[in-house]
Structure 1
Amino acid sequence: MNHQEINQLVKQMNVDTATGEVDQRIQDIVVRLVSDLFKAIEDLDIQPSEVWKGIEYFTDAGKANELGLLAAGLGLEHYLDVRADEADAKAGVAAGGTPRTIEGPLYVAGAPESVGFARMDDGSESDRIDTLIIEGTVKDTEGNIIPNAKVEVWHANSMGNYSFFDKTQSHFNLRRTIFTDTVGHYTALTTMPVGYGCPPEGTTQALLNKLGRHGNRPSHVHYFVSAPGFRKLTTQFNIEGDKYLWDDFAFATRDGLVATAVDVNDTAEIARRSLDKPFKHIDFNIVLVKEADAEEAPSTEVDRRRASA
């Protein structure tokens, strides 16, 4: 069939058959996606067994709760970021805000809240992994501090696993919400994160294997940052020195989002931090864009299903 015949067939099946109220937006999207799929089947001569194996794959990925991971691994989530960057540029959004990057599938709502400072880890790995202090200031694009900004932070443990999804960890381990203090500052006392790989026997890695790709991420820390009157920021920093820093299977590493962990061995500084051993330190300052400076740009709030505990 040629493409015109396919368009007509899809219209007959998904438009002309409508007898009830139509959600026009949904109909437009379905017709377009089904048309493109049919054309791919025609152009690539995809066989019936291959079609059904594809359907089985998505069924299995859904059961394994890996569709969010797959979206990152195939570049869909990164593409949405690139597209949002282009929309911001066209709308004239002021430059200077901290770059966005992917959320990933492992956020959990409801983490414990504090002001200015939080200890994120439960102490279970203190003896076998480096202590890390992350701190920074939240400002606007004009350099003004933003007190009471909501800084949500989460990252993996030394095994590359995230609490809630990894049932061996305590509740909300390595997940906190820190509101900036009166000078816009936040500090997180935690442990050094490591990168993770897709579950080796999982559906995402199975497809990546077919594509000749690895499924590894560098060590990184995730953020949601929000404040009244400002655009919500979804971002993360990846840590300098990781072998996968610029070879992230999820394509999340971006200029401006690479952090350096500095070794701190000075006894006076260790004592000032009320610690009993050397630690690593990362500065990660955040710049938010005012809503008023982005009135013509799409919202940065993304409506998607997220875990909650």
Structure 2
Amino acid sequence: MNVDFVDSAAVQDLLDRASGVRTEGGDARIKAITRDLIEAVMRAIVKYDIDESEFWRAITFFQNGAPEFGLIAPGVGIEHFLDLYMDAKDADAGLTGGTPRTIEGPLYVEGAPLVEGEVNLTDDADDTGTLIMNGSVRGPDGEPVGNAIVHVWHANSKGFYSHFDPTGEQTPFNNRRRIRVDSDGRYSFRSRMPNGYSVPPGGATDRLMSTLGRHGNRPAHVHFFIEAPGYRTLTTQINFGDDPFAADDFAFGTREGLLPVPNRQGDSASIAFDFRLQRATTEKDEGFSSRTRATA
């Protein structure tokens, strides 16, 4: 059947009624978005002749896979698309420069210790080498941002994050800190070397990637939020440029300008990386997205 079936009076009437666009009350923006999303699903059903059993198997997949939505969203490119869309809007507004943004991922935990000076991120024993990372936070004119806070978090050598570790062996803020930079905008930390990892074997994301003929691996990487009054909050991460998955990250988190190659010495390494912030144009720019985040 042709997808024009969705344009029929009966289906268009159903869309209006289901989305509430004809009723009083409610949120007009949410109604319009809901209508378009439902219509897109209907068009896909007709285009690919999705039968009833296929539809309900898909619903079951999403119901059972709900705990992994934070992985599925980057895995199918939606989270990276949001970055591309924000980049395009910035370009249209004449906002250029700064360290590239990239995906946050689902594994941030609020309330990490606020520290300063020479910082050690790792609280737990980990049989691997040392990562040393340092650099500065600067504004668009190269000025040091001496009141910045650098939020940093990464996995351990097994590819597990504290708070989300299936072994239950890590303390809540292992490899997690908020670092107050010095007056010159400089930060420095050491930790035990993180490794790349794959999505949970046999989970919803793994099954979806297998169905798409894709893998679920990420390169070794370190996540950051950078916040400072008067500047746009930056969400980004650096990915180890010599990792075999640096050019094939299942979550599309690798971007040009975010791929430093570590200076390796045995199983240890050092990375120098400077962050460049953009100036805030609204109060909203200085905040974080309203994404739900874990607390410990």
TM bin (shorter chain): over 0.9
**In structure 2, C-alpha distance between the alignment counterparts of 1:12 and 1:110, rounded to whole Å:** 44
1:36 to 19, 37, 40: 40
Moved more, 69-78 or 115-124: 115-124
Shift of 1:240: 1.8
Q: Deviations over 1:207-244 (max 9, x none)?
A: 11100000000000000001000000000000021110
**In structure 2, C-alpha distance between the alignment counterparts of 1:71 and 1:46, rounded to whole Å:** 22
| 2:24 matches 1:26 | no
Which residue number in structure 1 is paired with residue 75 of structure 2?
73
Task: Give the letter aligned to residue 88 of structure 1.
Answer: D
Shift of 1:96: 2.4
Which residue number in structure 1 is paired with residue 89 of structure 2?
87
Change (3 A) 1:179 1:87: same
Q: Secondary structure at the match of 1:114?
A: strand
Which residue number in structure 2 is paired with residue 14 of structure 1?
19
Change (3 A) 1:44 1:113: same
Contact 2:120 / 2:190 at 8 angstroms: preserved in 1? yes
**In structure 2, C-alpha distance between the alignment counterparts of 1:48 and 1:279, rounded to whole Å:** 54
Change (3 A) 1:283 1:305: same
Contact 2:137 / 2:185 at 8 angstroms: preserved in 1? yes
Q: Deviations over 1:163-198 (max 9, x none)?
A: 001122112000010010111111111011111100
Which residue number in structure 2 is paired with residue 100 of structure 1?
101
Task: Give the letter aligned to residue 56 of structure 1.
Answer: T
Contact 1:116 / 1:185 at 8 angstroms: preserved in 2? no
Shift of 1:9: 2.5
The correspondence of residues 161-240 of structure 1 with structure 2, limited to 5 A, is: 161-166=160-165, 167-240=168-241
**In structure 2, C-alpha distance between the alignment counterparts of 1:16 and 1:122, rounded to whole Å:** 54
Contact 2:154 / 2:175 at 8 angstroms: preserved in 1? yes
The correspondence of residues 143-154 of structure 1 with structure 2, limited to 5 A, is: 143-154=142-153
Q: Secondary structure at the match of 2:62?
A: helix
Q: Secondary structure at the match of 1:247?
A: coil
Shift of 1:264: 5.3
Q: Secondary structure at the match of 2:195?
A: coil
TM-score by length of 2: 0.93
Change (3 A) 1:242 1:17: same
Q: Secondary structure at the match of 1:55?
A: helix
Contact 1:155 / 1:175 at 8 angstroms: preserved in 2? yes
Long gaps (5+) in structure 1: 266-277
Deviating above 2 A after TM superposition, structure 1's stretches of 4 or more consecutive aligned residues are 6-9, 12-18, 297-301
Change (3 A) 1:264 1:197: closer
Q: Deviations over 1:64-108 (max 9, x none)?
A: x10010001000000000000000000111x32000000001000
Shift of 1:4: 1.4
Q: Deviations over 1:271-304 (max 9, x none)?
A: xxxxxxx942111110001114xx5x97873211
Task: Give the letter aligned to residue 291 of structure 1.
Answer: A
Q: Secondary structure at the match of 2:252?
A: coil
Which residue number in structure 2 is paired with residue 3 of structure 1?
6
Which residue number in structure 1 is paired with residue 276 of structure 2?
287
Q: Secondary structure at the match of 1:171?
A: coil
Q: Deviations over 1:84-140 (max 9, x none)?
A: 0000000111x3200000000100011011123321011401xx2111111110001
Shift of 1:247: 0.2
Task: Give the letter aligned to residue 187 of structure 1.
Answer: S
**In structure 2, C-alpha distance between the alignment counterparts of 1:221 and 1:234, rounded to whole Å:** 11
Q: Secondary structure at the match of 2:41?
A: helix
Q: Secondary structure at the match of 1:301?
A: coil
Q: Deviations over 1:243-285 (max 9, x none)?
A: 10010000010000011211359xxxxxxxxxxxx94211111
Change (3 A) 1:121 1:87: same
**In structure 2, C-alpha distance between the alignment counterparts of 1:12 and 1:120, rounded to whole Å:** 54
Change (3 A) 1:27 1:202: same
| 2:109 matches 1:133 | no
